[in-house]
């Protein structure tokens, strides 16, 4: 009789043979610009900790104080007995920071997308999604009973064509939900959210933006892509984000109208059926908002480092693709070359991972670097030297 779980090993070995498996390195200590990975001291260029807030004294001290006052865990899901005063305070502070009526904190950003998207659009509805949206959006769409279609990446003209065609559908769609990332994590490019919102308003469609890589980075004081474009809050109906990147902690969230939050907390099973954040997490997130509101230098330093590094990489002769944000991809081409490049960088003291097929196209492999506000010129110059040395060794520049 065949072993019913033999496929596990077989399929894993197939991934290994194709060099598509993840081989995890170990971060030994805090995620800092200079850290230790697998026993080697390296410059960190692949963390989402954009503003280095995971190491900010106020954020760490808030987490410690919350453990002392509220314990290590919440004890339940929020609808039952795990709805702590810290969770309410965090949502009030986040809504005020974003300039909206209300916010709701999810366990993760993935949980927000997977839990809310299927509830916003169901049978009789249509979801229109950017073709390069994040996997969590894709999974959320797949969980919905709505019809779905895609529009060409960041192409608002094609989006309008799709919406115009959708208006001819018989019977008419009950509602249409447009979903886009704010900043696309593989290329570092930005959605034309102002044009998307304009097209949506013309066709009476909802707009949902996943701003995971925009919050803390774009807009006034890091308030995100809606702020960046100066949009009115009622033109973008759902702002989704995460505390695990620029805020330096963990957790997902949505922001918008009070009606949106009331709907989401009653309908999202990922929110209803998952344990709430430990007190330390909620308190650390509140402190991270405090830092963003009172210490604008972190966002400014992030952008200064981004422009410095991007110019240095381009001066060496590398292609950084369509990036206009602190995600700076160095385009390599072949997956094998990107993996070799990453390993050589690691040997030279720079930790930057390859992004290869199937995450990107077969000829679109790249080293994806992500800037950090706390990187020094010395750090960046050392990293640039490593990139130049490796590029010349591999005949890429």
What 8-state DSSP symbol labels residue 219?
A: S
DSSP string, 8-71: HHHHHHHHHHTT-S-----B-S---SEEEETTEEEEE-S-S-TT-GGG-HHHHHHHHHHHHHH-
What 8-state DSSP symbol labels residue 348?
A: T
For β-strands 147-151 and 206-210, DSSP reports them as unpaired
List C-alpha distances in Å: 333 to 104, 201, 370, 391, 394.
Answer: 41, 39, 19, 13, 12
DSSP string, 305-325: HHHHHHHHHHHHT---TT--S
Q: Counting beta carbons within 10 angstroms of the beta carbon of residue 3, is it exposed (0 to 12), middle (13 to 18) or buried (19 or more)?
A: exposed
Active site residue 245: yes
Asked if 356 and 282 count as a contact pair (C-beta separation under 8 A), the reply is no
Active site residue 144: no
Options 74, 144, 185, 335, the catalytic residue: 185
Residue closest to 207 by CA, chosen among 175, 227, 177: 177
For β-strands 252-256 and 102-106, DSSP reports them as antiparallel
List C-alpha distances in Å: 88 to 82, 127, 279, 368.
Answer: 11, 31, 11, 36
Angle at 231 between CA 307 and CA 132, to 5 degrees: 60
Active site residue 185: yes
Residues 6+ apart with CB under 8 A from 172: none
DSSP string, 89-152: HHHHHHHHHHTSSEEEEES-HHHHHHHHHHHHS-TT-EEEEETT--HHHHHHHHHS-SEEEEE-
Q: How far apart are CA 301 and CA 326, in angstroms?
A: 11
Asked if 308 and 73 count as a contact pair (C-beta separation under 8 A), the reply is no
Options 98, 134, 213, 277, the catalytic residue: 213
Options 87, 156, 228, 245, the catalytic residue: 245
Dihedral angle over CA of 260, 266, 267, 269, nearest 10? 130
Residues annotated catalytic, as ranges: 185, 213, 245
């Amino acid at each position: 009789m065949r072993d019913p779980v033999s496929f596990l090993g077989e399929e894993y070995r197939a991934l290994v043979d194709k060099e598509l498996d993840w081989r995890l390195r170990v971060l030994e200590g805090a995620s800092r610009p200079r850290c230790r990975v697998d026993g080697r001291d390296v410059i960190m260029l692949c963390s989402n900790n954009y503003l280095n807030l995971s190491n900010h004294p106020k954020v760490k001290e808030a987490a410690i104080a919350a453990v002392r006052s509220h314990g290590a865990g919440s004890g339940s899901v929020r609808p039952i007995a795990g709805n702590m005063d810290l969770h309410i305070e965090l949502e009030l502070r986040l809504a005020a920071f974003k300039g909206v009526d209300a916010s709701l904190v999810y366990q993760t950003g993935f949980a927000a997308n997977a839990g809310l998207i299927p509830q916003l659009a169901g049978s009789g509805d249509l979801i229109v999604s950017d073709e390069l949206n994040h996997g969590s959006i894709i999974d959320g769409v797949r969980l919905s009973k709505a019809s779905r279609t895609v529009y060409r990446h960041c192409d608002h003209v094609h989006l309008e064509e799709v919406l115009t065609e959708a208006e001819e559908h018989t019977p008419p769609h009950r509602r249409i939900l447009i979903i886009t990332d704010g900043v696309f994590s593989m290329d570092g490019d930005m959605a034309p959210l102002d044009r998307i919102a304009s097209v949506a308003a013309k066709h009476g469609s909802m707009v949902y933006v996943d701003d995971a890589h925009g919050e803390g980075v774009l807009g006034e004081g890091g308030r995100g892509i809606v702020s960046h474009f100066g949009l009115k809050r009622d033109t973008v109906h759902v702002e989704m984000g995460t505390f695990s990147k620029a805020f330096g902690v963990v957790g997902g969230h949505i922001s918008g109208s009070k009606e949106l939050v009331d709907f989401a907390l009653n309908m999202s099973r990922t929110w209803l059926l998952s344990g709430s954040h430990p007190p330390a997490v909620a308190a650390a997130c509140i402190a991270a908002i405090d830092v963003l509101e009172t210490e604008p230098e972190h966002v400014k330093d992030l952008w200064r480092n981004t422009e410095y590094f991007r110019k240095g990489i381009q001066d060496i002769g590398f292609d950084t693709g369509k990036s206009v944000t602190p995600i700076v991809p160095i385009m390599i081409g072949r997956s094998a070359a990107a993996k070799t490049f990453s390993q050589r960088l690691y040997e030279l003291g720079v930790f930057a991972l390859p992004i290869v097929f199937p995450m990107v196209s077969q000829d679109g492999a790249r080293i994806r670097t992500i800037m950090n506000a706390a990187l020094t010129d010395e750090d960046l110059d050392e990293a640039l030297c490593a990139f130049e040395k490796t590029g010349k060794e591999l005949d890429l520049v």
